[in-house]
């Protein structure tokens, strides 16, 4: 699902942090740079520790080969898990932007949430169920071929274990993990109250995260074990790290869900920014700052080529450029050119605009009415609008 969307998005903003692997079911699959760390770690621990410990009689290169093949199958299992979510999402008519593998596993960027609790339940459960099905398939191979071939026994044995772990971890009932989404859909169905269900599912998600952080730090000093799992030393800090990550994911997913909820029923005309000024595109950012931002506090600029609109630039775009370069950077170099702009209309739903901004990874949409540009709608604006409204208690 998209538990890690927000954090990933910050990283994906810089285009070169992910490498495109190919397309499955029309969905682009990416490898985030952090994935290479975990890939190397998995190969290393399998080839140096796990397999040599279990099967001491192989030669060195066999450990490497089996280690690499097993790691590739492990990541294929993660992709299969995300594809299962995606398949149900596509069936409900909800587009999936991408699947990215990164240090904590995989994430499918699903463009919006299911409108109904039961559909959300199916979509969320599909991932862990697919991991369990894979564990079953590897068990079958293990059972049929395992006694004839040590490498296959080693490979399938570890893949059974890891797919069951993947299912178990994702089934932890804290939002935004799959289990948390299942929990939310059940609470949502039972109470008919999306907000309340999301609040409690993410609260539980944060509690789970705190338990991870606490257990991780505790285990670093005092090693302990639960069943087959041992916690101690650096491995234990990893647990705390995952906890920290889950805490972030739970709070940001909650905010995202509430933002969507708060925008319900609002139209573009309610959230439009109209204070855009026209500025020649040959102006430097420094000129814009001195003439419009500092004295008038404006935040949105329409670049013109003298007569026509050539692009749009917002405060956020300007802030993205180091201040030392402001006197050498022209507006036209920093703006979003008109041919890359999509437009919004006054009657469009605000939630739909938020989805579009998310989907296209853009910050603003110009609003056109009767062929005339009347203003822009930005993500910052949507967020500020909600904040103001909640402060006023409306
Ligand atoms: Zn999942």
User: Looking at beta carbons, which pairs linking 149-155 to residues 24 or more positions away fall under 8 Å?
Assistant: 150/55, 150/58, 151/58, 151/62, 151/65, 151/66, 154/51, 154/54, 154/55, 154/66, 154/70, 155/66, 155/69, 155/70, 155/73
Domains of the chain in start order, with CATH, are 5-171 (no CATH), 268-392 (3.10.580.10)
Q: In the prediction, which pLDDT does 262 show?
A: 81
Q: What is the pLDDT along the chain (394 residues), one digit of tens a residue?
A: 444 444 444 433 434 578 888 898 889 999 988 889 889 999 999 998 889 998 888 898 999 999 999 999 999 999 999 999 999 999 998 888 888 888 777 888 877 778 889 999 999 999 999 999 999 999 999 999 878 989 999 999 999 999 999 999 899 888 888 999 999 999 999 999 888 998 899 999 999 999 999 999 998 888 887 766 677 777 788 888 889 988 988 888 888 788 878 888 888 888 888 777 788 888 888 888 888 777 777 777 888 887 777 888 877 788 888 888 888 888 888 888 877 777 888 888 888 888 788 766 677 788 888 767 788 888 877 877 777 776 665 5
Nearest-angstrom CA–CA distance, 138 and 77: 11
347 among known catalytic residues: no
Q: Residue 97 forms beta bridges with which residues?
A: none
Element housing 109 (H / E)? strand 105-110
Nearest-angstrom CA–CA distance, 202 and 190: 17
Predicted model pTM:
0.72
Annotated active-site residue in 82, 113, 120, 247: 82
How far does residue 132's CA lie from ligand 1's centre (Å)?
12
How far does residue 176's CA lie from ligand 1's centre (Å)?
10
How far does residue 175's CA lie from ligand 1's centre (Å)?
11
How far does residue 103's CA lie from ligand 1's centre (Å)?
15
* Beta-carbon contacts of residue 380 (< 8 Å; ≥ 6 apart): 299, 314, 315, 316, 363
Q: In the prediction, which pLDDT does 338 show?
A: 77
Nearest-angstrom CA–CA distance, 394 and 388: 9
Q: In the prediction, which pLDDT does 14 show?
A: 39
How far does residue 203's CA lie from ligand 1's centre (Å)?
19
């Amino acid at each position: 699902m998209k538990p890690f969307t927000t954090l990933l998005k910050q990283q994906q903003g810089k285009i070169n942090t992910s490498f495109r692997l190919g397309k499955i079911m029309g969905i682009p699959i990416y490898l985030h740079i952090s994935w290479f760390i975990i890939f190397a770690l998995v190969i290393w621990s399998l080839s140096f520790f796990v397999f040599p410990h279990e099967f001491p009689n192989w030669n060195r290169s066999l450990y490497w080969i089996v280690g690499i093949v097993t790691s590739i199958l492990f990541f294929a299992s993660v992709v299969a898990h995300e594809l299962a979510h995606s398949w149900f999402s596509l069936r409900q008519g909800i587009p999936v932007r991408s699947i990215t593998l990164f240090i904590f596993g995989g994430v499918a960027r699903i463009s919006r949430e299911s409108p109904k609790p039961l559909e959300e339940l199916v979509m969320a459960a599909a991932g862990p169920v697919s991991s369990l099905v894979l564990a079953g398939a590897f068990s079958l191979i293990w059972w049929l071929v395992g006694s004839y071939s040590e490498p296959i026994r080693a490979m399938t044995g570890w893949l059974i274990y890891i797919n069951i772990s993947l299912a178990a971890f994702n089934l932890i009932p804290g939002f935004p993990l799959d289990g948390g989404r299942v929990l939310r859909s059940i609470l949502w169905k039972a109470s008919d109250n999306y907000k309340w269900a999301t609040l409690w599912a993410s609260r539980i998600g944060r509690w789970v995260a705190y338990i991870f952080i606490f257990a991780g730090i505790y285990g670093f000093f005092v090693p302990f074990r639960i069943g087959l799992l041992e916690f101690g030393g650096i491995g234990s800090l990893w647990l705390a790290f995952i906890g920290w990550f889950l805490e972030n994911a739970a709070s940001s997913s909650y905010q995202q869900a509430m933002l969507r909820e708060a925008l319900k029923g609002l139209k573009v005309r309610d959230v439009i920014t109209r204070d855009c000024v026209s500025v020649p595109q040959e102006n430097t950012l420094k000129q814009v700052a001195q003439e419009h931002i500092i004295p008038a506090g404006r935040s949105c600029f329409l670049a013109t080529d003298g007569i026509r609109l050539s692009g749009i630039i917002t405060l956020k775009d300007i802030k993205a450029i180091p201040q030392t370069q402001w006197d050498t950077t022209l507006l036209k170099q920093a703006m979003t050119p008109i041919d890359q702009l999509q437009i919004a209309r006054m009657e469009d739903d605000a939630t739909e605009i938020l989805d579009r901004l998310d989907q296209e990874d853009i910050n603003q949409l110009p609003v056109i009415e009767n062929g005339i540009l009347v203003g822009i709608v930005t993500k910052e604006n949507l967020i500020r609008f909600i904040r103001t409204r909640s402060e006023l208690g409306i």
